[in-house]
Amino acid sequence: MDHSMTIAEIKLSFLRDQIRILSAALDPSEDWRDYGPEVEADIPDKVIDSVLQKSVNLVFGQHNRSVFSTQATHHVSQQIERLYMNSIDPGLGENSSQGLMVEHGTDLTTHENIERLPDEWLEKDVSAVNLERYKLLREQLDSLSTERNKQRQRLVQYKQLKTLLEPFNAPQTNIQPNLVTKDSQLAAELDRMRMLLAKLAARIKQVGQQQHNVSIAKPTAQDIDTKLAKILEMT
Q: What is the pLDDT of residues 67-90, one digit of tens each?
A: 888 878 888 888 887 787 777 655
Distances (CA, A) of 47 to 37, 50, 51: 18, 5, 6
**Helix/strand/coil for 3:** coil
Report the alpha-carbon distance of residue 51 to residue 102 in Å, rounded: 43
Report the alpha-carbon distance of residue 195 to residue 189 in Å, rounded: 10
CA-wise closest residue to 135 among 153, 122, 154, 152: 122
Report the alpha-carbon distance of residue 27 to residue 23 in Å, rounded: 12
Residues 81, 11: contact at Cβ < 8 Å? Answer: yes
Q: What is the pLDDT of residues 24-69, one digit of tens each?
A: 877 777 777 677 667 666 777 777 777 777 778 888 788 888 888 8
H/E run at residue 151: helix 128-165
pTM: 0.35
- Helices (H), strands (E): how many in the chain? 10, 0
Q: Mean pLDDT for the chain?
A: 75
Give every CB contact of residue 209 below 8 A, 6+ residues apart in sequence.
Answer: none
Q: What is the pLDDT of residues 150-163, one digit of tens each?
A: 999 999 999 999 98
- The HSE-up count of residue 64 (CA atoms within 13 Å, CB side) is 16
Task: Give percent of the chain above pLDDT 70.
Answer: 69
Distances (CA, A) of 217 to 68, 179, 205, 214: 115, 48, 18, 10
Question: Band of the pLDDT at 98, cuts 50, 70, 90?
Answer: very low
Report the alpha-carbon distance of residue 73 to residue 69 in Å, rounded: 6
Look at residue 123 and tell me whether its pLDDT is greater than 50: yes
